[in-house]
Copies of this chain bind each other. A is one copy, B any other.
Amino acid sequence: MRAVVIATPGDPEVLRLESVADPVPGDGEVLVDVSTSGVNRADLLQRRGAYPAPPGAPQDIPGLEFAGTVAGVGPGVARWAEGDAVMGIVAGGGYAERVVVHESVAVSVPDSLDLATAGAVPEVFMTAFDAVFLQADLKAGETLLIHAVGSGVGTAAVQLARRAGARTIGTSRTGAKLEEARALGLEAGIVGDESWADRVLDQTDGRGADVILDLVGGPYLAGNQKVLAPRGRHVVVGVPGGARAEVDLRELMARRGRIMGTVLRARPLAEKAELARRFTEDVVPGLAEGSLRPVIDRILPAAQAPEAHRAMERNENFGKILLSWE
């Protein structure tokens, strides 16, 4: 099969389309013919050598998600059969024509969702759903603050929160991304300059946000502490702005607040299976009926993986960039 391989750690040009051996499904695993592979910010880190894949995942093929068609099953697989449309997250190896996943972590692609489009779903919708609902327990009537709301996870979170009856406030460094997020249901958009925290307080009559979905990290920590509502949950899913910052534990106590770190990639299989189950139950129906929709910036042929990475590094995409294998 063909796969996008990291020839050596470095700039986007180190990504090469190469011929590699097909993966073979083991016990309980399915082989998937990939339609599209989503590109994620973590892939850029991995390409530069800064975010190695966990043990057991392919080390030199990046890619954390896929959508495609089941092409074969290993021993003991009961849930899926050849031809089924599936999507899911993987710990690595997603930039390939074929992937192997455990049957329990694959999620059915509803008929009403185009298979190529589905490649934009798993990482961002699972990350947002898990962080905002399963970890931070956002409830109807609460306010969700989403940093980097124009990102894939951000646009998924806006839709999931709106569907759950929560209020959304988003920040972005780019006014145009805020406009696009408004079209998805974002209620208040704030440009992420030095006064963003004051404006979040203005928007909430001084109360702040019940849940903060943080895709920025260190530089926003002081502001996040300031705008965290009583009993608020600040969930950190990415730190592209930097990881270290001063925290004020007394502020955290006074608000009875929580700062929660989360990642999907390193979870054990049983937890990934549980997430896939909850996701199938709670989120897939919204994708099927169209109340939730993946936001796609562009679909590029897999051979253009370097261009896909460059576009993400320039921060120019609104929504997902996909690599196509068709």
Contact = CB atoms under 8 A, between A and B. Distances in A.
A232 to B, nearest CB: 10
A197 to B, nearest CB: 17
B266 A262 contact: no
Contact of A249 (B236, B249, B250, B258): B236
A218 B250 CA distance: 9
A254 B249 contact: no
Contact of A261 (B221, B244, B254, B262): B254
A256 B235 CA distance: 10
Contacts of A247: 221, 244-247, 259
A289 interface: no
A263 interface: yes
A266 B231 CA distance: 12
A248 B244 CA distance: 5
A221 B243 contact: no
Interface in A259-294: 259-263, 266-267
Contact of A263 (B239, B254, B262): B254
A258 B267 CA distance: 16
A54 B218 CA distance: 32
Nearest to A262: B256
A57 interface: no
A255 interface: yes
A197 B134 CA distance: 31
A257 interface: yes
A238 to B, nearest CB: 8
B236 A252 contact: yes
A266 B251 CA distance: 13
B266 A218 contact: no
A259 B259 contact: yes
A235 to B, nearest CB: 9
A239 B250 contact: yes
Given A259-B259, A266-B254, A246 B244 contact: yes
17 contacts: A221-B249, A237-B253, A239-B250, A243-B248, A244-B246, A244-B247, A246-B246, A249-B261, A252-B261, A253-B262, A254-B261, A256-B263, A256-B266, A256-B267, A258-B259, A258-B261, A259-B259
